[in-house]
Amino acid sequence: MPRLSRFKKPPRLLAQLAVQRVANALDIGELDVPILFEDLADSHALARRRAALSDAAAGADGGAARPGPAPRGGRSADGGPPRVAWLAIPPAAGSGGHTTLFRIMRAAQEAGLRNTLLFYNRFHSPVEEYAEIVRTGWPWLDCEIAEVGPVVEGFDACVASSWSTAHVLAGRATPGTRLLYFVQDYEPYFFPRGDIYEFAADTYRFGFRNIALGPMVQEALARELDVPSDVVPFGGDTSDYGLVEPVRPRRGVVFYAKPGNDRRGFRLAVLALRQFHERHPDQPIHAYGDHVSGLGFPVVDHGRLTPENLAALYRSAAAGLSLSFTNISLVPEEMLACGTTPVLNDTGFARAVLDNPHVAWARPTPSALAAALSDAVERHTPEVARAAARSVRARSWTETEQAVVRILADELGCEVRDGRVAASG
């Protein structure tokens, strides 16, 4: 009887399998969940609690239920401007989501609100470490920084910025505080369908005032959960990016590498770039973001880059690969501004946000993305670069910032006059 052939497993695979067995035994995956299970809230329980409080208030008023605390005339309980707490998880240097949140916070500060940044970290690292990252990476943000305590009190409004901080806020905020949720992505999409997915989805039912960044997020909230939201425009800032004349012929592609972030499609990008390299072995492939190696094809690994150096890299490449499976990324417009053709995974919601004829949309499969990259490289000329750069209209985050400040003012019973939050009337 013939014996089955046995294939020798390479040392790297053997090591991976050993680590996987230990990880499964210790449930290492739990460390990827950014919240302690005891800090999880429950929309059903919260609704029952609100109903009980409403019934108690109605009884105290002889049957007339009050919808919430009365406007405070633009002043906090201590007589100063309203105080706003912004809850966030600790940032890594250069975090795009934190940059957007901090822009909004700066606008609120400039409008006269008093900000406090409250960090939630399930591992309880010293808050001074997070504060140093913020002060170094975002020196223009002027606010108090503290760790979120067992009770979130002393604030007129609180803003959650992620699904984990929404849970914490729901369980710790004192009654009467206005609660809002700045939603940059439909975060259940970050996870496989399962319990973590549902924990993330439940946050949008907590009764906070949801502020959706862009129409894609608003549509996802409505389609998936029938949850209302205020939509604010998806901003942009390409001031650090642009074309430099004379435009010379370019070679190669650049891609944004985030191996630990599933929504950035790193595995798919690697498979597509392998096929691209097989078609164009003479074309350099540049990676920036996280450091990468061992991809099976040559890569110029740049790691994290400053905007100035990233713009220079874009201006050297004919095309760029930027994948995102939740909200649209800021990367494609930066590439366009530098005359680089961005290749993106084709989704209807992304097209609605980035309606630009110079974007190369492709089905999210390795061969389709590789074909789009090949086409972009083969067709690239200096005039193609100029046309792409001209297509980028000047945008900023100002409209977004102003829209969020107006929503905050409305929740606080105030209005915005001449850029400042003031008492209504």
CATH code of the domain covering residue 197: 3.40.50.11090
Q: Is 208 or 11 the better-scoring residue by pLDDT?
A: 208
* Across 391-420, average pLDDT: 93
Distance CA(298)–CA(281), nearest Å, equals 9
Residue 58: pLDDT band (50, 70, 90) is: low
* Domain boundaries, position 282: 253-390
In this predicted structure, what is the pLDDT of residue 326? 81
* CA diameter of the chain: 93
pLDDT band at 24 (very low <50, low <70, confident <90, very high): low
**Could you tell me what percent of the chain has a pLDDT over 70?**
88
115 or 75: which carries more pLDDT confidence? 115
Q: Model confidence at 68, in pLDDT bands (50, 70, 90)? A: very low
pLDDT digits (tens, 9 = 90+) for 225-241: 999 999 999 888 888 89
Same domain, 379 and 288: yes
**Band of the pLDDT at 92, cuts 50, 70, 90?**
confident
In a domain, 240, yes or no: no
Tell whether 377 and 411 lie within a shared domain. no
The pLDDT of residue 31 is 55
Is 200 inside any structural domain? yes
Point out the least confidently predicted range of 119-123, 300-304, 346-350, 353-357.
Answer: 346-350
Short-list 350, 321, 338, CA closest to 253: 321
Residue 92 falls inside a structural domain: yes
pLDDT of 8 over the 70 cut: no
Give me the pLDDT at residue 309, please. Answer: 95
Mean pLDDT value across residues 295-313: 95
Do 219 and 330 belong to one domain? no
Instruction: Read off the pLDDT of each residue in 271-285 and give the average, rounded to a whole number.
Output: 98
**Judgement on whether residues 281 and 179 belong to the same structural domain of the protein:** no
Higher pLDDT, 27 or 88: 88
**139 and 259 part of one domain:** no
pLDDT at site 425: 64
Q: Are residues 46 and 137 in the same domain?
A: yes
- In a domain? residue 406: yes
Is residue 361 domain-resident?
A: yes
* 86 and 207 inside one domain: yes
Q: Please give the mean pLDDT across all residues of the chain.
A: 89
Q: What pLDDT is stored for residue 10 in this prediction?
A: 73
pLDDT at 181: 98
| Residues 223 and 299 both lie in one domain | no
Residue 417 lies in a domain: yes
| 318 shares its domain with 372 | yes
> What integer is the mean pLDDT of 192-216?
95
Confidence category of residue 358, pLDDT binned at 50, 70, 90:
very high
Is residue 30 very low, low, confident or very high in pLDDT (cuts 50, 70, 90)? low
Distance from C-alpha of 160 to C-alpha of 181, rounded to nearest angstrom: 5
Position 67 scores a pLDDT of 41
Is 50 exceeded by the pLDDT of residue 26?
Answer: no
Q: Would you state the pLDDT for residue 65? A: 39
- Over the stretch 360-391, which tens digit does the pLDDT of each residue have? 999 999 999 999 999 999 999 999 999 999 99
Gap between the Cα atoms of 382 and 246, Å rounded:
9
**pLDDT of 240-263, one tens digit each?**
899 999 998 899 999 999 998 888
Number of domains in the chain: 2
- Asked if residue 46 is part of any domain, the answer here is yes
pLDDT at residue 377, rounded to an integer: 97
Does 216 fall in a domain? yes
**Mean pLDDT of the region 162-170:** 98
Q: For the domain that residue 285 is a member of, what is the CATH number? A: 3.40.50.2000
pLDDT category of residue 337 using cuts at 50, 70 and 90: very high
